[in-house]
Amino acid sequence: MNRMGAYVWARRGVLAAFLGCVLIFWLVFSLYELPGEAVLYAALLSAVWLAALSLWDAFCFLRRLGSLRRQRESAEPDVQDIPCGGTAVERAYRELLETLLSRCRALEQAGRRERREALDYYTMWLHQIKTPIAAMNLVLQQEELPQKAELQSQLFQIERYVEMVLVYLRMGSESTDYVIKQCDLGEVVRQALHKYAPMFIRKKISLQFSAPSLRVLTDEKWLGFCVEQILSNAVKYTPQGGSVSIFEQGNSLVVQDNGIGISPWDLPRIFEKGFTGENGCLDKRASGIGLYLTKQVLQRLGHGIDIDSRQGFGTRVSLHFYTDTPVLE
């Protein structure tokens, strides 16, 4: 409904009352056989006066309506900018709206405060748990135990899960610790490889590594987390004695393996939070959060990712560095 139509509909009662009065006068004059011109003149004079009043009333109505619609389309509507109507009902509606908005803002602030306190608590707890993990790693390095390799592998997985939870919490926080600068992509990959070297050795996976020469504008720590997630999946789903290749292709970093691959019906959903797919049934520890976090972080950094895979033949992951300015939403 357009604005003038909305005005006519809002004032339909006044128009009906005017027409009703004209009809009553006409009936009375007809019953008493009085001249009809008197009714006509009175109706015309009343119509002119009503039209003049309606023009002013329509101007005020349309101005208020336009202001309300602008407030509705505004990103942050403010009750104080809503025009105050002339009727008691309109004023009561405005007061009710102010009360409701005030309560909503109070609830929103309380919710933010609770989320911030919960985030601080979980972050502190996760940082605290890193201390015993580091202590256990130190003990394992000094002791010779029959299950030493297995224990170190399990501790590494625990540390990796803790890091994933920290990243997940930071992604949902109002502020993050991005440090954007020019980084050597080759050095980022080397650090990730050094961290995952024991897993490569344990599964006897051969590595073909051609050091990238790209320098990218990014956050080294967050990009390193993404590279580690890709390496983790490559090692996890590559069988004993398989191979992983890492090389640069244009403005992209490619990680390719000859592992079990991804089924074609799972491939479109691999970046969904919590999705594990067919491969998740093989690995009961799969959380379905690693690739989701990887894509979210890369998007914030202004980078991209795509995955090609053939089930039974392997997977190829490409990280694209095609922007100069991180998004950082």
Residue 64's domain comprises 3-83
Tokens representing 174? 């109002």
pLDDT for residue 32: 67
The residues that bridge with 207 in the sheet, in sequence order, are 244
Residue 244 lies in a domain: yes
Q: From CA 68, how far away is CA 100, in angstroms rounded?
A: 17
Exposure b/e, 110-144, CB count within 10 A at least 16 = b: eeeeeeeeeeeeeeeeeeeeeeeeeebeeebeeee
In eight-state DSSP terms, residue 263 is -
* DSSP one-letter string for 44-57: HHHHHHHHHHHHHH
Helix (H) or strand (E) holding 305: strand 304-310
Residue 164 lies in a domain: no
Who wins on pLDDT, 150 or 1?
150
End residue of a domain, out of 59, 83, 107 = 83
pLDDT for residue 255: 96
pLDDT for residue 30: 73
Give tens-digit pLDDT for 97-125: 778 888 888 888 888 888 777 777 777 77
Give tens-digit pLDDT for 212-244: 999 999 999 999 999 999 999 999 899 999 999
Give tens-digit pLDDT for 50-66: 777 777 777 777 777 67
End residue of a domain, out of 49, 83, 117 = 83
pLDDT for residue 327: 54
**Helix intervals (H) in the chain:** 3-10, 12-31, 36-73, 88-142, 148-171, 185-202, 220-236, 277-282, 290-301
Residue 99 lies in a domain: no
pLDDT for residue 240: 92
End residue of a domain, out of 83, 115, 146 = 83
Q: Which residues make Cβ contacts (< 8 Å) with residue 285, sequence separation at least 6?
A: 157
Give tens-digit pLDDT for 255-285: 999 999 999 999 999 999 888 777 666 665 5
Residues 68 and 201 in one domain: no
Residue 116 lies in a domain: no
Who wins on pLDDT, 203 or 93?
203
Residue 138 lies in a domain: no
Residues 186 and 58 in one domain: no
Residues 78 and 192 in one domain: no
Q: From CA 255, how far away is CA 250, in angstroms rounded?
A: 14
pLDDT for residue 131: 76
Tokens representing 235? 């090692």
Residues 76 and 187 in one domain: no
Residue 3: pLDDT over 70:
no
Q: How many C-beta neighbours within 10 Å does residue 208 have?
A: 10
- The model's confidence at residue 70, banded by pLDDT at 50, 70 and 90, is confident
Residue 206 zone, left/alpha/beta (φ > 0; ψ -120 to 50; rest): beta
How much is the average pLDDT of 11-21? 73
Range 283-289, long-range pairs (CB < 8 A, 24+ positions): 283/236, 283/237, 285/157, 287/161, 287/164, 289/164, 289/168
Chain-centre distance of CA 93, in angstroms?
A: 34
State how many domains the chain has.
2
- The model's confidence at residue 192, banded by pLDDT at 50, 70 and 90, is very high
Residues 214 and 76 in one domain: no
Residue 155: pLDDT over 70:
yes
Give the CATH number for residue 247. Answer: 3.30.565.10
pLDDT for residue 137: 72
What average pLDDT does the chain have?
A: 79
243-249/206-209 β-pairing? parallel
Residue 119 lies in a domain: no
